[in-house]
Chain A
Amino acid sequence: MKVGVVTFPGTLDDRDAARAVDAAGATSVALWHKEADLKGVDAVILPGGFSYGDYLRCGAISRFAPVMEKIIDAANGGMPVLGICNGFQVLCEAHLLPGALTRNHELHFLCHDQRLVIENTSTAWTSSFTKGQEVVIPLKNGEGSFQCDDPTLAMLESEGRIIARYVGENPNGSRNLIAGITNERGNVVGLMPHPEHAINPLTGPTADGLGFFTSVLKAMVK
């Protein structure tokens, strides 16, 4: 099972994402933003960071990178794609997910361990969890406030497409405490906090994040 991890100029978390993939039992494959080649991978992760310096809007320029054309086609064909933090922003800019991520409501860059509740366990990236399970993984972003119009919010709620919500105080002003969402099909997931930094208690707050990466293995075996 091969999982591609994309590196854009300014990506930060590609190494940790690759490490998480390998720890889950799959093989990570480095994908370069300039190459329109998915190298035969079965799934793709868009990791966190500041691709293209967050110029214009976060993810706005990365969304047109050569590798993204292939990823958009593959995602529309059902391939599992996970966007973490900046990757979530790229998926929204690419219109693979609805809504947009805007500046945190208090304007501060956040970096702390965050409690989440997993609400949808039927996606390619969340099947290792149980519905209602609480996890703690790092949250670190400046533009993590999930925004969308009222009809989109109502649709996400009624279709169960909110995969994870923040527990406790709203850290960044996201509507309805949204930390992550999925597309209609359940193969594309965007998540603002960072599961790849929480795969081993030695180097992270917990090992709770590993479940996202083991989930996709199960999805690919099916």
Chain B
Amino acid sequence: MAKIVVDVMLKPEILDPQGSAVSAALPRLGFTFAKSVRQGKRFEIEVDGQPSPAQLAEVEKAAEKLLANPVIETFVVRVEN
């Protein structure tokens, strides 16, 4: 069984207050490595067998239509085994 993963991120020019809040919390806990943090969403979609190119194209369409809002977000579709 394979897993199709869709990662959705706010476009770089869109303000990400949640990421900023996480970024501000890290040094308070002693973690000083982060220059900045952006927060996104990850969808894991299970399918039977290895996904076909047609199936992946369908997932791309679904990501464009529902999973992401292309006005403010970008997305990447990939297969994880």
Contact = CB atoms under 8 A, between A and B. Distances in A.
Interface stretch (A5-13, A14-22, A94-102): A94-102
A105 B15 contact: yes
A93 interface: yes
B18 interface: yes
A106 B12 CA distance: 18
Interface string A144-156: 0101110000000
6 contacts: A60-B69, A102-B15, A105-B17, A107-B18, A145-B15, A145-B17
Given A100-B71, A102-B72, A147 B15 contact: yes
Given A92-B71, A102-B72, A147-B72, A107 B13 contact: no
A147 B10 CA distance: 11
Contacts of A2: none
Nearest to A98: B71
A119 to B, nearest CB: 23
Interface residues of B, number: 12
Chain A, interface SS category: loop
B21 A57 contact: no
B1 interface: no
A221 interface: no
Question: Size band of the A side of the interface?
Answer: 20 to 34
Interface of A: 56-57, 60, 64, 92-93, 98-100, 102-107, 145, 147-149, 173
Contacts of A104: 17
Nearest to B13: A149
B54 interface: no
Nearest to A172: B17
A106 B17 contact: yes
The winner among B13, B15, B71 for most chain A CB atoms within 10 A is B71
A69 to B, nearest CB: 14
B14 interface: yes
Interface string B42-81: 0000000000000000000000001101011000000000
Nearest to A101: B72
Given A105-B17, A106-B17, A107-B18, 19 more contacts: A56-B66, A57-B69, A60-B66, A98-B71, A100-B69, A100-B71, A102-B10, A102-B15, A102-B72, A103-B17, A103-B18, A104-B17, A107-B17, A107-B21, A145-B15, A145-B17, A147-B15, A148-B71, A149-B13
Interface in B1-60: 10, 13-15, 17-18, 21
